[in-house]
DNA sequence: TTGTAAGCGTTATCAC
DNA sequence: GTGATAACGCTTACAA
């Protein structure tokens, strides 16, 4: 029973040919009900399982999609993958995962490996350190659908699913203004990544829309970890006129800021408000729960999958879809006076 | 340039045969240095990429492994997957992921799908609701290596990688005893999952080893969420002699307990100590950081991958390896008086 | 309605 | 050292 049974085995058992078995198994109309039933039964009896590899080789479709992310154990990305998997699995697709570790060279390697594996599409978030775009063009040349989620590069023929980072930045900042904060600082990330640039732009627009002048010393670019948040907020507090609120592009940075503020005996939210970005799971478990911008990553994954499916449906038509999801502001204790 | 180039294209270009090209590409000894060089060069020039699907069909090895977990966006599992991916990718394997959603029927479906896809092995954590084992036996019949991590079923021929849950429970409890806690309660999970049973056994042993009688009313089985932790601890506080410490088999339950204790004005850790299990990321970000048992999931994933590789190496020898990793107690504020 | 045979891209086993 | 050919398991014109 350990040997795999093929359609030939079934054919032999019934004294018919493999082609007929294949037709019976695939609901081909040109087949008699009798033989079809017979084939179905013996297939079940012999425990036949279709070899997807053979099908893939024949059809040129592997029914696998590749998903590339920086790290799979970052909640934002694993939630996206969950969305992709849940959308695609019912349609018979399998998800192959790769991690770039934020390295461009690894990203290129991942893409080549997935292409060799004949994936039907690649869904990915661009690595922080990626500057070239040749490897993306190469995917397109091979006519393999390419969908960027969250972090993208602007390329012709590539569909993207992102959230409106500008809007996220705007609403976070407006919320702080509504709370009566007058001197709102912003902790940002590297602007070579659009997402951070856009969150900053939203911040800026909200300020000017409400007649608040942008103070250059209130905007600090940092790495995305707790330590960076501590250092940046320390710097802010040393200013002649320190801020009374922080909008951070990262939840981790915001957490570092909160820790540092507390160290200085500053009361949150009464004296100082903080808003983060990403709705990392920990933000709502804090004793002082953190206001943050939710990116609905599972939805983002599902949407990326849907865009991929559209692309596959009309493979002759090159679609270039730009889906922009709306972020949700999760208002919690760190910003409500 | 959009068409895929095969070894036939290279052969045609050089007026040799595909077999020769194949040999050149695969470092076959029976080939002249000259033709080899020539083939290599034109292969590069024509941008040849090996079709892994064809190789897979021919060889019977897909170089894919399937990984099945309840939910991919649970940190514990995504970290394990990270470990698996990082161990296997350098060897040319790709990781296909599936989610059971804790449903037995989905688990069975996942296994069949992966088997159809001709994966070279299946690495998985058993779903909470799984009672049958037929689908696992079936994998073994097909001679596909099967490795369980964390949640396992005892089956002949299946290798497992787990942490020593007994030890974890023992050390967590002993730590509480060392802190001077006298009345230690335990919040457990469903004992049909070995992990919870073993953590409880460790708890029990630590108590008796230190001359503390096990009180039945101090042991409560709950679901693994915050709400359950709140309710269970409420029940404990209503006891005629309420406990002065909780060892919880889940970080979420422990968090719920802490919240409830605070609601009653109970001071942690001075009046009451709490220890969780799993070292979920949020535990160390809490203002009152939580003591918990770390399961080193990335290491667990790497180990599962290594066990799989051993199995593959000697496919004729059936290996049944039981790897048990040691947990680490992360001592934090919630339990240090 | 069913059988025949070619083909998907490789590699392996023969010959030469 | 290289070429011809079969085989992996399946689908699909084309014939019958």
Which of A26-30, A252-256, B182-186 shows the lowest mean pLDDT across its residues? A26-30
Interface probe with A: pick from B1, B94, B105, most Cβ of A within 10 Å: B94
Q: Looking at the partner chain, which of A96, A282, A286 has a beta carbon nearest the beta carbon of B95?
A: A96
Query: Please, what is the angle between helix B134-141 and helix B104-116, to 10°?
Result: 10
CATH number of B165-295+329-335: 3.40.50.2300
Cβ pair A49:B116 closer than 8 A: yes
State the pLDDT at residue B1.
41
> Dihedral of CA A109/A111/A113/A115: which sign?
negative
Q: Which CATH class is domain B7-50?
A: mainly alpha
Residue of B nearest to A297 (CA): B73
* Tokens 């199995």 found at: B311
Residue A211 has pLDDT above 70, yes or no: yes
Round and report the angstrom distance from CA (B30) to C1' (C14). 15
Fold: same for B7-50 and B63-162+297-325: no
Confidence band of A1 (pLDDT split at 50, 70, 90): very low
Q: What's the mean pLDDT in A36-42?
A: 94
Q: What's the mean pLDDT in B106-111?
A: 98
Strand partners, A245: A184, A273
Q: Where are the domains of chain B?
A: 7-50, 63-162+297-325, 165-295+329-335
pTM metric for this prediction = 0.94
State the pLDDT at residue A29.
87
Respond yes or no on whether the N-terminal peptide bond of residue B269 is cis (omega within 30° of 0).
yes
Residues in chain A with CB shorter than 8 Å from the CB of B4 are: 142
User: What stretches of A117-164 show up as alpha helix (H) in DSSP?
Assistant: 134-141
Interface check for B287 against chain A (CB to CB < 8 A): the answer is yes
> Dihedral of CA A75/A81/A84/A85: which sign?
negative
Nearest CA to B300 out of B159, B108, B141, B112 is that of: B159
Residue B2 has pLDDT above 80, yes or no: no
Residues in chain B with CB shorter than 8 Å from the CB of A115 are: 49
What is d(CA B135, CA B106) in angstroms, rounded to the nearest whole number? 11
What is d(CA A270, CA A336) in angstroms, rounded to the nearest whole number? 8
Cβ pair B118:A52 closer than 8 A: yes
Instruction: Report pLDDT digits (tens) over B141-175.
Output: 899 999 999 999 999 989 999 999 999 999 999 99
A221 φ, ψ (degrees, to nearest 5): -95, 130
What is d(CA B113, CA B106) in angstroms, rounded to the nearest whole number? 10
Residues within 8 A of A (CB atoms), B 28-67 only: 49-54, 56-57, 62, 64
Architecture of domain A63-162+297-325: 3-Layer(aba) Sandwich (3.40)
What is d(CA B206, CA B171) in angstroms, rounded to the nearest whole number? 8
Cβ pair A281:B286 closer than 8 A: no
Q: How many angstroms separate the CA of residue A146 from the nearest CA in chain B? A: 15
State the pLDDT at residue A176.
98
Query: Exposed/middle/buried for B221, CB within 10 Å: 0-12, 13-18, 19+?
Result: middle
Q: What's the mean pLDDT in A85-97?
A: 98
Interface probe with A: pick from B66, B68, B72, most Cβ of A within 10 Å: B72
Cβ pair B52:A143 closer than 8 A: no
CA-atom Rg of chain B in angstroms: 26
Interface probe with B: pick from A1, A60, A70, A72, most Cβ of B within 10 Å: A72
Nearest CA to A63 out of A317, A312, A265, A330 is that of: A312
Instruction: Report pLDDT digits (tens) over A109-152.
Output: 999 999 999 999 999 999 999 999 999 999 999 999 999 999 99
The more confidently predicted of residues A316 and B212 is B212
Q: Looking at the partner chain, which of B78, B89, B285 has a beta carbon nearest the beta carbon of A282?
A: B285
Residue B133 has pLDDT above 90, yes or no: yes
Residues A149 and A313: beta-carbon distance below 8 Å: no
Round and report the angstrom distance from CA (B41) to C1' (D11). 35
Residue B19 has pLDDT above 70, yes or no: yes
State the pLDDT at residue A106.
98
- Look up the protein residue whose alpha carbon has the minimum distance to the C1' of D13: A19
């Amino acid at each position: 029973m350990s040997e795999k049974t093929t359609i030939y085995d079934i054919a032999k058992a019934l004294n018919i040919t493999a082609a007929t078995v294949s037709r019976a198994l695939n609901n081909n109309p040109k087949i008699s009900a009798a033989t079809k039933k017979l084939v179905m039964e013996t297939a079940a009896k012999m425990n036949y399982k279709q070899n997807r590899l053979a099908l893939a080789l024949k059809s040129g479709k592997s029914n696998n999609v590749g998903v590339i992310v920086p790290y799979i154990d970052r909640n934002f990305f694993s939630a996206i993958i969950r969305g992709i998997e849940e959308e695609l699995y019912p349609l018979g697709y399998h998800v192959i995962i790769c991690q770039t570790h934020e390295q461009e060279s690894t990203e290129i390697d991942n893409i080549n490996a997935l292409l060799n594996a004949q994936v039907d599409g690649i869904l990915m978030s661009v690595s922080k350190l990626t500057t070239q775009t040749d490897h993306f063009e190469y995917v397109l040349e091979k006519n393999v659908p390419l969908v960027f989620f969250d972090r993208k590069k602007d390329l012709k023929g590539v569909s993207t699913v992102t959230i409106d980072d500008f809007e996220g930045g705007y609403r976070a900042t407006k919320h702080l203004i509504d709370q009566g904060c007058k001197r709102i600082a912003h902790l940002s990330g590297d602007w070579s990544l659009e997402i951070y640039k856009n969150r900053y732009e939203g911040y800026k627009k909200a300020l000017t829309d409400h007649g608040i002048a942008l103070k250059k010393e209130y905007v600090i670019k940092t790495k995305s970890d707790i330590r960076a948040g501590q250092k940046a907020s320390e710097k802010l507090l040393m200013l002649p006129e320190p801020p009374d609120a922080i909008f951070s592009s990262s939840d981790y940075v915001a957490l570092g800021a909160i820790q540092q503020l507390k160290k200085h005996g500053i009361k949150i939210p009464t004296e100082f408000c903080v808003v983060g970005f990403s709705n990392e799971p920990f933000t709502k478990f804090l004793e002082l729960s953190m206001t943050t911008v939710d990116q609905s990553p599972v939805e983002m994954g599902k949407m990326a999958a849907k865009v991929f499916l559209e692309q596959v449906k009309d493979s002759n038509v090159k679609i270039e879809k730009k889906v922009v999801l709306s972020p949700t502001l999760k208002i919690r204790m760190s910003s409500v006076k």
